[in-house]
Structure formats: C-alpha cells, structure tokens
Amino acid sequence: MAIILGIESSCDETSAAICIDGQIHSNIIANQTIHEKFGGVVPELASRAHQQHIIPTVNEAIREAKIHKNAIDAIAFTRGPGLLGSLLVGTSFAKAFAMARKIPLIEVNHMQAHILAHFIEDPKPAFPFICLTVSGGHTQLVLVNDYFDMELIGQTIDDAAGEAFDKTAKILNLPYPGGPLIDKLAKEGVPRFQFPEPQIKGLDFSFSGLKTAILYFVQQQIAQNPNFLQDNIHDICASVQERIISILLKKLRRAAEHYHINQVAIAGGVSANSGLREGLDKLAKEEHWDAFIPRFEYCTDNAAMIAIAGYYKYLYNDFATQDIAPLARWAI
Ligand code: KG4
Ligand code: ZN
C-alpha cells in the first residue's frame, strides 16, 4: 500500500491531498480572497497566505482521509512552474516533512499534474492522447505518450487563455478572477458581437489581439452610450467566451488531425468553463473522438493532481533530494 501526501502552492491556492493506492481520499483547498481587491494575484501576499494556510490545510487533508500522519509513505510537492515565493512555501514544507519523517520526497511539474488529473477517476484516457491545458498562466497543446513522457506541440505566443478571460473581465469592470464570472454571465447572453479570430500558423495560439479588440470595441461603444456595459454585459460575455472557445477548439481539432489521434482531453482552470466543456463534447461527437473532461474540482489548482502524479512517480521510485529548489519556469 502507498499513501502519498500531495502539496500544491504554485499560485494563490494552498492545497493538500491524500492519495492511497491511486485513489484520492481528501483534497483540501484554501482559497486566497485577499487578491480580489487588487484585480490580480499579488505575489508577496500570496506567499504569506500560503505560510498561514499550509499547516491547517495539511492537517485537514490527513483528518479527512482518516489516516495517521505516521502512515504517509511519501510527500509530493509542486516544484514549478509558478510564483517563486509561493512555490518556496510548499517546497520548504515538503522538504521538512520528508526529512522529519524520513520518507521520500517527490517533485511534481504543475503542468504535468494538470494533465495527470485525468488519472484520478474513470474513464481514463489511453496513451497516446492529446491534452489542451488551459490555465491562468499557460495555454498548451500536449501530446501525452505516457505518464511522464509529454511533448509540447503548441502553445500561446502571448497571453494565456485564462489571462484572456481575466483581462477581459477587467475591461468589463468585473472582479478578479474573471473566468468563472464571465462563464456565469455568458449563460444568460447571446453571442451577437463579433470579435476577430487571430490567424496564427500551426498549433500555436494568440490572445493579445483579442484583448485589444475588446478594449477598443468597449471604449467606442461607451462613447456612444455610457450605459453600454451595464445594458449588454451578458451578450458581451457570451461573445468573448464563444471566441476564446472557438480559438481553442480549432487548434485542438487541427492537432488531433495532424497526429491522427482520437483520444482528446482538456485540463487546467479554464477547462472548468461550461462553454468549453459543452463545445468539446459537441466537437467530439462530430469527430468521433473520446473526450475526457476532469471533474470541476480537479480542473482549477488542487493537490489531488499533485498527489496522483506523485503516486505514479512513487511507483517508478523517482525521488528528489533535499537540495532541490523550486523553479518559476519549468518546461513540461
Ligand atoms: O489552473 P488554474 O486554477 O491556475 C493556474 O495554474 O493558472 O487556472 C486559473 C485560471 C484563471 O485565469 C481563471 O479565470 C480561469 O482559470 N478559470 C475559468 C473558469 N474557472 C477558472 N475561466 C473560464 N471559465 C471558468 N469557469
Ligand atoms: Zn494550474
């Protein structure tokens, strides 16, 4: 039997999870609401909040899994990519815990973990599959050959998809993080405004032009009608969301065609978006794909995905040493 404690602290959620023989028994997430009033994550505040949250979050994960901390066989932590100060808290905690309890330490790449979240529950994708990983900091198309054999086949050349949601929300005077709120408002809107689709070759993405187009459009409309935003917020959100989704799914389809693969998955915070989930399901039917969409709680940042990634590394005896340091940037 293998009991793995997973720790996630790469951005603004402190999370701890317990994985027992590949099954998640707890997944505790402490959100940091302090950033809302600043309209984005403030790194210094994030790392301080991680310091406050980490021990209670781990205790809660152990309690909920109904195990004793002495039973933990290994501790897995997010080494990167992410905010360095935030990563340092999780890394230091994991190193201290491993040293004190004399158990192995396991480093996990956050972007690999988003993809490995697909191995928490059934149905699981078969290798090789293509995963579209869309989060606040990344937009990647990944060819997944095996648990830790992943090839980056496309990525954003500027903003990430989550950033496109969050920056649009700012333009629309909506609070941070904008993604979930745009998703909610879009449900009651009609996508009647046309925003441009970037013409980027191959499997790469671009979102910065869209953001600028939305900004100019909103400014022009407000000049004519000062209440434009209030009067049309649902339709604007529906239009923006539809365009972001069409950009993402177009490249996903292109990747599947190019690699002749019909196992297709989405991961990362933006995969919680209801329009993207519906869009992928619809496209999968048309294309005869098997589509894999994680449960909501495993889309946004969570330690269950770190614990499951740690579990597979544990099976491979792939352990880290005490001199390990976090990495703000780390290729998949
Ligand atoms: O994976 P994640 O939790 O953190 C990073 O690793 O970045 O992703 C956070 C991103 C944010 O940009 C947030 O606005 C977006 O995911 N997001 C959503 C939704 N839920 C979270 N975007 C669109 N629709 C959602 N429902
Ligand atoms: Zn993430």
Q: What is the DSSP string of 142-168?
A: EEEEETTEEEEEEEBSSS-HHHHHHHH
Taking only the tens of pLDDT, the chain with its 332 residues reads 999 999 999 999 999 999 999 999 999 999 888 888 888 899 999 999 999 999 999 999 999 999 999 999 999 999 999 999 999 999 999 999 999 999 999 999 999 999 999 999 999 999 999 999 999 999 999 999 999 999 999 999 999 999 999 999 999 999 988 999 999 999 999 999 999 999 999 999 999 999 999 999 999 999 999 999 999 999 999 999 999 999 999 999 999 999 999 999 999 999 999 999 999 999 999 999 999 999 999 999 999 999 999 999 999 999 999 999 999 999 99
- Residue 3, both tokens: 């009991």
Query: Nearest C-alpha to atom 16 of ligand 1 is from which residue?
Result: 269
Q: Six-digit token pair at 283?
A: 């496209």
Whether residue 275 has its Cβ less than 6 Å from ligand 1: no
Distance CA 96, CA 228 (A): 54
Regarding the beta carbon of 169 and ligand 1, being less than 6 Å apart is answered no
- In this chain, the answer to whether the domains covering 3-115+301-315 and 123-294 adopt an identical fold is yes
CA 80 to chain centre: 13
Question: Regarding the domain with residue range 123-294, which homologous superfamily does it belong to in the CATH classification?
Answer: ATPase, nucleotide binding domain (3.30.420.40)
Given a contact cutoff of 8 angstroms between Cβ atoms, the answer to whether 228 and 220 are in contact is no
Quick check: CB of 183 below 6 Å from ligand 1?
A: yes
For residue 178 and ligand 1, the question of a CB distance below 6 A is answered with yes
**In the chain, what are the domain boundaries?**
3-115+301-315, 123-294
Report which protein residue has its CA nearest ligand 1's atom 24.
Answer: 273
What is the CATH number that goes with domain 3-115+301-315?
3.30.420.40
pTM: 0.96
Query: What letter represents residue 4's amino acid?
Result: I
Q: Which residue ranges are tagged as binding site?
A: 110, 114, 133-137, 166, 179, 183, 273, 301
